[in-house]
Amino acid sequence: MAQTLNGARAGWAQNRVETLSGAVTLKAEDSGKLFLCSAATVTLPAAADAGAGWHAKFIYKSGAATTVNSSGDIDAAGDFCDVVCDGSNFYNALNLT
């Protein structure tokens, strides 16, 4: 799993922007983050562990396709995926170009 922080300032929702690549499993503490993705396979935490209000945004950066929790691939410039949790389920909103 490769995660790197980009920049020294807080990003979306006051969290640092992180870069993801490879196989990554997120945690409840990752809520509110913005992830730039390069050929990543992202597994979300269990919905019950994440809790209602958990959310994250995944933006395609480069390389091969990124899959977020088996929701579909973001694989072109301009693609992104917003994910929110209601405590029981995750809901993905894909924006594909």
Per-residue model confidence as pLDDT tens digits over 71-85: 778 999 889 999 999
- How does residue 3 score in pLDDT terms, banded at 50, 70 and 90? low
pLDDT of 6 reads 47
Q: How far apart are CA 21 and CA 1, in angstroms?
A: 6
pTM for this entry = 0.83
Here the tokens at position 74 are: 């973001």
**Distance from chain centroid for Cα 80:** 9
Neighbouring residues of 44: CB distance < 8 A, sequence distance ≥ 6: 26, 50, 68, 69, 83, 85, 90
Q: Looking at the predicted structure, is the pLDDT value of residue 7 above 60?
A: no
Q: Average of pLDDT values for 21-27? A: 95
- How does residue 13 score in pLDDT terms, banded at 50, 70 and 90? low
